[in-house]
């Protein structure tokens, strides 16, 4: 029989709590690669949006629909993630991951050959179901295999790895977009390469829980607050991949330069997450997440007033510093609030919040074609208020709720 758990064998998750040893490096790498698929789901095709819009210019509402091709994935995830969480808790993490990887390739790469904007959107819907499965089951498996400070450290490493993936894939998407708007869709086929790695993961069925664990309920008020913060943050964070390419085009940037700039943003976020991983667990995650939001606000404020590509780059660097701090700390906070029997479902709720925010971003912070920076102005103001409120909460109630 093929060994599917980490080494040593007693590192497998148990029904009653976290594993007795940390997973091996290949298992950890697999979880990191699965997380990297999340940023690929939308941002990979971001540099191709202007060319896609030009291709479908004769279709009604092409301006809005092309942007939705990027963000409709988020809506589908928001709707389907709860179902993925139930399936992951009932049938195990690995089966959900395997089916999701197949759907990821089918839906993601469909843009290589479809002929209408409607068919592009249909492929993105399929991709949304796939991402919901990978993000939910993968996130639940992280909570199965890690606990305490080790979990916080791994979540920061995971955020860094995801951003490093974006730093590579976004410039690659920009180069491919220079060839044609269809070319970036081919990147989604990379999910098939992860199937052999996922086959060796533990199945991850929580199994029977103790009566005490079964009776333990999440602290819903605190969980709902984390969900809200994740949604609001993503609405503002996703301004760059959803509307940034149009702002950069107005400033004279070519698709390859747009991809490079977006990659720089994610690279800075990656370095920040990686650096913070050494300090994970030492600070109140609410305060660090609030700091990240305030830095993002400052970065988008600089982007909003920029009149040149170098000025935009400065704003992206500041925003990237904040972007590397928010999600690792929100996820660590949420994990501390989640009973073992609820891991799949609570993680699914977080996935819904994150990607609903992604979907809502170009709708809530819409910017007219003549003023592509307008969304960044309102986004900067909104996330600054939320970040300040979160910091105030951490001061009034020092103990993490």
The DSSP annotation for 19-67 comes to -SSPPPHHHHHHHHHHHHHHHHHHHTTGGGHHHHHHHTTTSTTHHHHHH
User: Per-residue confidence at 2, pLDDT binned at 50, 70, 90?
Assistant: very low
What is d(CA 225, CA 390) in angstroms, rounded to the nearest whole number?
10
Q: Helical H runs in 180-284? A: 195-199, 211-215, 220-237, 239-250, 255-276
pLDDT, one tens digit per residue, over 5-60 is: 333 333 344 433 444 467 888 998 999 889 888 777 766 787 788 888 888 888 87
What percent of the chain shows pLDDT beyond 70?
88
* Residues ≥6 apart with Cβ < 8 Å to 89: 140, 206, 341, 343, 344, 345
What global pTM score does this model have? 0.71
Would you say 246 and 67 are in contact if contact means Cβ atoms under 8 Å apart?
Answer: no
Q: Are 293 and 322 in contact (CB under 8 A)?
A: yes
Query: Distance between CA 41 and CA 191 in Å, rounded?
Result: 11
Mean pLDDT computed over 119-146: 89
Band the pLDDT of 252: cuts 50, 70, 90: confident
What span, in angstroms and rounded, lies between the C-alpha atoms of 103 and 117? 20
Structure tokens at 136: 């939910």
Query: Tell me, what's the pLDDT at 201?
Result: 86
Structure tokens at 79: 């709707």
Question: Distance between CA atoms of 275 and 183, rounded to whole angstroms?
Answer: 34
**pLDDT category, 213, cuts 50, 70, 90?**
low
DSSP per position, 308-324: SHHHHHHHHHHHHHHHH
Distance between CA atoms of residues 231 and 330, nearest Å: 11
CB 125 within 8 A of CB 107: yes
Tell me which DSSP letter residue 202 carries: -
pLDDT at 8: 35
Mean pLDDT of the chain: 82
Q: What residues contact 25, with CB distance under 8 A and at least 6 apart?
A: none
Q: Among 26-40, 90-104, 251-265, 302-316, which stretch is predicted with the lowest mean pLDDT?
A: 251-265
d(CA 244, CA 254): 12
């Amino acid at each position: 029989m093929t060994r599917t758990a980490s080494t040593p064998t007693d590192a497998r998750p148990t029904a009653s709590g976290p594993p007795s040893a940390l997973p091996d490096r290949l298992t950890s790498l697999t979880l990191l690669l699965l997380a990297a698929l999340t940023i690929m789901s939308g941002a990979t095709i971001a540099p191709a949006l202007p060319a896609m819009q030009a291709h479908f210019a004769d279709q009604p509402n092409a301006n809005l629909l092309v942007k939705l091709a990027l963000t409709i994935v988020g809506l589908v995830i928001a709707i389907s993630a709860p179902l993925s969480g139930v399936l992951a808790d009932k049938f195990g993490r690995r089966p959900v991951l395997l089916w999701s990887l197949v759907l990821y390739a089918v839906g993601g790469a469909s843009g290589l050959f479809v002929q209408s904007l409607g068919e592009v959107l249909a492929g993105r819907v399929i991709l949304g179901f796939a991402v919901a499965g990978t993000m939910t089951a993968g996130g639940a498996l992280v909570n199965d295999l890690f606990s305490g400070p080790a979990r916080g450290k791994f979540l920061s490493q995971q955020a860094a790895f995801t951003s490093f993936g974006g730093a590579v894939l976004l410039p690659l998407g920009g180069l491919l977009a220079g060839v044609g708007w269809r070319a970036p869709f081919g990147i989604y086929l990379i999910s098939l390469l992860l199937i052999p790695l996922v086959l060796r993961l533990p199945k991850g069925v929580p199994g029977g829980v103790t009566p005490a664990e079964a009776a333990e309920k999440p602290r819903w008020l605190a969980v709902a607050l984390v969900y809200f913060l994740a949604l609001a943050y993503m609405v503002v964070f996703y301004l760059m991949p959803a509307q940034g390419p149009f702002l950069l085009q107005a400033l004279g940037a070519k698709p390859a330069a747009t991809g490079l700039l977006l990659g720089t943003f994610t690279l800075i976020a990656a370095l920040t997450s990686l650096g913070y991983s050494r300090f994970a667990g030492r600070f109140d995650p609410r305060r660090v997440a609030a700091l990240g939001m305030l830095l993002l606000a400052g970065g988008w404020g600089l982007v909003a007033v920029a009149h040149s590509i170098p000025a935009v780059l400065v704003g992206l660097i500041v925003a990237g510093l904040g972007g590397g701090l928010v999600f690792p700390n929100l996820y660590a906070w949420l994990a501390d609030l989640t009973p073992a029997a609820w891991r799949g479902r609570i993680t699914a709720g977080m996935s819904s919040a994150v990607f609903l925010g992604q979907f809502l971003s170009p709708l809530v912070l819409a910017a007219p074609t003549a003023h592509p920076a307008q969304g960044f102005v309102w986004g900067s103001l909104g996330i600054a208020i939320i970040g300040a409120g979160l910091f105030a909460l951490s001061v009034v109630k020092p103990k993490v709720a």
